[in-house]
Amino acid sequence: MEHQGLLSIIVVILWVMAVCVARLTPRVSFPMGTPGRCLSRFDSSDVGNTTTLLLSDDGDTLFVGARNAVLSLDVSQEDAIVMRSKLDWSPSEKDLDECSMKGKKKTDCPNFIRVLQFLNSTHMYACGTFTFSPRCTYINSETFSLVTSPSGKPEEGRGRCPYDPYQRNSAITVDGELYTGTVADYMGNRPVISRHLSEGGHVDLKLDDTLGWLEDPTFISSNFVPSEEKIYFFFSEVGREYDFIDKFTVSRIAQVCTSDVGGQRTLQRRWTTFAKAQLLCQSDNELPYNVIQDIVTLPPPEGAPVDDTLFFGIFSSQWSVNSGQSAVCAFRLGDIKAVFAGNYKVLNRDTLRWSMRVQEKVANPGECGLHNASDNTLRFVKENFLADDSVHPVGRSLTMVSPDQRYSHVVTQRVQAANGKDFTVLFLLTESGYLHKAVLLEKGAHIIEEIQVFEQPQPVKNLLLSISKGVVFVGSSEGVVRVPASNCSYYWSCAECVLSRDPFCGWDPSVKVCTHANSIQDNVGQDVEGGNVQEACASPMPKFRFGLNKGKADSFPVGELVSVSLNEVVRLQCPEASSLAHRHWERPNSRLSPDLYLQLEDGSLHFLATPATLGHYLCLSTENGFQQNLAIYQVKQKSSPTPQAAAPGMMTTRPQSPALPPTTQAGSGGWLTPHLTGPKQTKPEPTAPARETPVTTRRTSRNFTFWVAQSGETETEAEWQGGEKLLLGQTYLKELVVVSVLLACCVSVLLTMALYSVRQRCRSRTAPQTNTPGRDSERGGPQEREALRGGQSPCSNGMRNGQMAHNGQANGVVCNGTPRGSNGHLPNTPI
């Protein structure tokens, strides 16, 4: 019962967390192939799994570890990625057959390059899975060729590279020595942090397998901090100190000193400086995001102390209630050092349980230089390597939370805005194949844009940032994609440039373009923190208001001309400048009645073409308090009217199209929100072929194309056929009340008639029947009989052939499918 109560409390807390998390929406989205975001891509039919990335010092060459090959790609050109050379490193047929005999899939048996590092200015070091038998080799960077070892045999890669291509690992080289975190056996049961290729007075080191220093870890990343002379490893593992929950996953940071050479008697050829602590990505009074996915280092600003170095990590949750969310936490180097300098837990060797008791410190575990310490000191270090305290994030709060995106990789850089303030920009790769570009503001994170970089989910992928070139490289099974860090030319106006809140971009008033902020001399239009257009732009784009022109037609802007016939369904499209903006429509000196107009979620406006609905239409966008024009249309009747587009007041025999479902007006500014459809509509009778006319705005750089449907019947089929297309938010409360009242009346009448019939039968037993009601009186009057037979009333043409008719106001009658009010137009308010 206690466990059930605890589980219930945890579920409630997680649910509250999920409800309270604000949704982070990218301002602009670029699906794959969108011309507004140009990417460079490399892929080849004979090259796959291009996931291990290494960039040269000059940034012009990208070395890629792929399947059975190492590639040298030329990335010096902005619009192309060209393969310079390919170094084949494939297993033999014999090796592949032996891998299959081990029970492994053939697709997992090739040589997947998982380690690719620079050793010095002339050589690289590469390791691959090589049919579940890891091997390593040297590569000459100048000639780009394999270097044979002195023995002439391949170098064994055990402890340097994983056996399984899907196992995560970490590797980094410092002064020609390789530091790795991986598994050292075929079954993956021997995790190890080790040093290889040691030279001089150094020796190869590893963890003692018998001490339980690692508990089923998943290695994520490793970083070198020169000022500390330490390698920091980041991984997740089972937290044995939490014995009240089975296999509770925790995120760790571990450290070793590069100067470590092992103990003289105790811990010989073993780390004497190994220590680990928990990374706690958690806000106060909330459950932690306990599984680390990726982490990256952000150096401190120029002139700041080294302790201000930040580590930005992506974390997820092991609980299914919270599995769809990702959190970003930042950890400060100074806080990490303070935790490692504190107290340590005690491990009971008999029970392998951690004690919360903190004993007196004999030495400081993790301190460099312990290889010369006494055996007593090394025994203390050997048994006390887990820090008692946890490393909390900066400000003890989450940097960013995404409730609907699962992030897998991250890279970051610090960007200086035009006002001299530094901003942190994160590039986050989602599991669904999008790259999110986010800037961290005082009020929270703001996602500037999202770019689709691959189509299918990728099990293995990687990110690499080149600050000097201003690009992000994304490696996956589909190939390598280069994404420019900024896309300033996409924003066509000062308002859009400022609203993007991109610290890379600013508006240049001299040439009236949005470009890199550091290339503008003065008067830069930029406000990253607030996005205030009025202050950042000297003359922001004015908003045209129809009401200010006193209804004079010659003072209206011309707009895009849309020719229609009467009684046709018109669809005016409004471009989406930003997903954070609200769009609404306006007309000159009149209100858009929700009874006549319908605005959908895509911003389009639907209405029936009548003399009352002809004229000008303006689509406006409001974002961050600033309003701008997006589209202007002028809807006119065709010069040669067709028989179905009759003049007002004339009778036509053409069945009328169903009326547009009504909407309600919500929010300030008259923004219309779509609503749910009601009862199923009957299919209208088409009378004219569907025609669509492309309409484009003056902003051709935005690549917008508008389509206006000009056939009422065919458009109606697409919109309301069978009632299958739902228009969110429609309500039928009035109709429900009317139907309920009518039903109650009918039931009362039926009861009255039944009682009357019983009374008549009783009378007939005692009195002669002199007058038998006729069949007409039993079934009602002539109008009722006509309705029951399905006959047509004088005003029933609107219901013929499955068509719906409009119910006008008290003085309006609908005949021949043409709705009429007192002036022959569509009534504004149906009953």
Contact 822, 812 (CB under 8 A): yes
Helical H runs in 21-113?
A: 93-101
Q: Which phi and psi angles does 391 have, rounded to 5°?
A: -85, 115
Query: Between vectors from CA 679 to CA 678 and to CA 680, what angle results, nearest 5°?
Result: 120
The ranges of the chain annotated as CATH 3.30.1680.10 are 486-536
Contact 181, 170 (CB under 8 A): yes
Question: Which range among 303-312, 584-593, 714-723 has the greatest average pLDDT?
Answer: 303-312
Cα 61 → chain centroid: 31
At 149, list the tokens. Answer: 């070892």
Q: Which fold has domain 551-723?
A: Immunoglobulin-like (2.60.40)
* Residue whose token pair is 């409004």: 574
Residue 191 banded pLDDT, cuts 50, 70, 90: very high
Q: Which phi and psi angles does 402 have, rounded to 5°?
A: -115, 115
* Residue whose token pair is 């669509």: 692
Residue 245 banded pLDDT, cuts 50, 70, 90: low
Identify the pLDDT of residue 557: 59
Q: For 501-545, write each residue's pLDDT tens digit.
A: 999 999 999 999 999 999 988 889 999 999 999 999 986 655 554
If one compares 775 and 153, the residue with the highest pLDDT of the two is 153
- Write b or e for each residue in 536-567: b if 16 or more Cβ atoms lie within 10 A of its Cβ, otherwise e: bbeebbeebebeebeeeeeebeebbebebbbb
Q: Which letter does DSSP use for residue 538 in this model?
A: S
Identify the pLDDT of residue 357: 63
Q: How far is residue 84's CA from residue 74's CA, in Å, rounded to a whole number? A: 6
The ranges of the chain annotated as CATH 2.60.40.10 are 551-723
Counting every residue written for the chain, the total comes to: 831
**Residue 571: HSE in the Cβ half-sphere, 13 Å Cα cutoff:** 24
Query: Between vectors from CA 489 to CA 487 and to CA 495, what angle results, nearest 5°?
Result: 100
Question: Which range among 278-282, 721-725, 775-779, 790-794 has the greatest average pLDDT?
Answer: 278-282
Q: How far is residue 669's CA from residue 705's CA, in Å, rounded to a whole number? A: 26
Closest CA to 123 of 143, 113, 145, 138: 138
Identify the pLDDT of residue 540: 64
Q: For 73-92, write each residue's pLDDT tens digit.
A: 999 998 899 999 999 999 99
Sign of CA dihedral 201, 205, 210, 215: positive
**DSSP symbols for 360-390:** PPSS-TT-TTGGGS-HHHHHHHHH--BBSS-
Identify the pLDDT of residue 359: 62
Residues 579-593 have a mean pLDDT of 89
Q: How far is residue 82's CA from residue 85's CA, in Å, rounded to a whole number? A: 9
Contact 629, 620 (CB under 8 A): yes
Contact 798, 814 (CB under 8 A): yes
CA-based radius of gyration for the chain: 36
If one compares 827 and 133, the residue with the highest pLDDT of the two is 133
Q: How far is residue 351's CA from residue 335's CA, in Å, rounded to a whole number? A: 31
Distances (CA, A) of 618 to 547, 583, 635, 697: 12, 10, 11, 12
Dihedral angle over CA of 607, 612, 614, 618, nearest 10 = -70
Q: How far is residue 395's CA from residue 748's CA, in Å, rounded to a whole number? A: 70
**Across the chain, what does the average pLDDT equal?**
78
Q: How far is residue 24's CA from residue 30's CA, in Å, rounded to a whole number? A: 16
Sign of CA dihedral 647, 651, 655, 660: positive
Where in 80-134 does DSSP place strands (E)? 82-88, 113-118, 123-128
**In sequence order, which residues have a C-beta less than 8 Å from that of residue 449 and are 6 or more positions away?**
26, 27, 28, 29, 30, 37, 436, 437, 487, 500
* Residue whose token pair is 């790259």: 435
Identify the pLDDT of residue 762: 65
The CATH number assigned to the domain with range 486-536 reads 3.30.1680.10
Helical H runs in 480-615?
A: 494-499, 533-536
**In sequence order, which residues have a C-beta less than 8 Å from that of residue 476 and are 6 or more positions away?**
50, 51, 453, 454, 458, 460, 461, 462
At 826, list the tokens. Answer: 């569509």
Contact 676, 731 (CB under 8 A): yes
pLDDT at 487 over 80: yes
Burial-class residue 678 by CB neighbours within 10 Å (0-12, 13-18, 19+).
middle
Contact 465, 294 (CB under 8 A): no
In terms of phi and psi (left: phi > 0; alpha: psi -120 to 50; beta: otherwise), the region of 696 is beta
If one compares 413 and 284, the residue with the highest pLDDT of the two is 413
Helical H runs in 695-799?
A: 712-720, 733-766, 775-779, 782-788
Looking at the chain, the number of H-run helices and the number of E-run strands are: 10, 44
Helical H runs in 608-731?
A: 712-720
Distances (CA, A) of 687 to 637, 654, 690, 716, 721: 18, 8, 9, 11, 15
pLDDT at 495 over 50: yes
Question: Which range among 688-702, 763-777, 786-800 has the greatest average pLDDT?
Answer: 763-777
Residues 36-45 have a mean pLDDT of 91
Q: For 158-182, write each residue's pLDDT tens digit.
A: 999 999 999 999 999 999 999 999 9
Contact 111, 131 (CB under 8 A): yes
Give the end-to-end CA distance of the chain in Å, rounded to a whole number. Answer: 59
Q: For 471-481, write each residue's pLDDT tens digit.
A: 999 999 989 99
pLDDT at 276 over 80: yes
Question: Which range among 152-156, 211-215, 630-634, 737-741 has the greatest average pLDDT?
Answer: 630-634
pLDDT at 730 over 70: no
At 702, list the tokens. Answer: 């935005």
Q: How far is residue 642's CA from residue 636's CA, in Å, rounded to a whole number? A: 14
% of the chain residues with pLDDT over 90 = 53
If one compares 777 and 387, the residue with the highest pLDDT of the two is 387
Where in 638-743 does DSSP place strands (E)? 664-665, 672-673, 692-695, 706-709
Helical H runs in 86-156?
A: 93-101
Q: For 399-443, write each residue's pLDDT tens digit.
A: 999 988 899 999 999 999 999 999 999 999 999 999 999 999 999
pLDDT at 702 over 70: no
Strand bridging mode 444-452 / 28-30: parallel
- Ordered strands of the 82-88 beta sheet: 52-55, 61-65, 69-74, 82-88
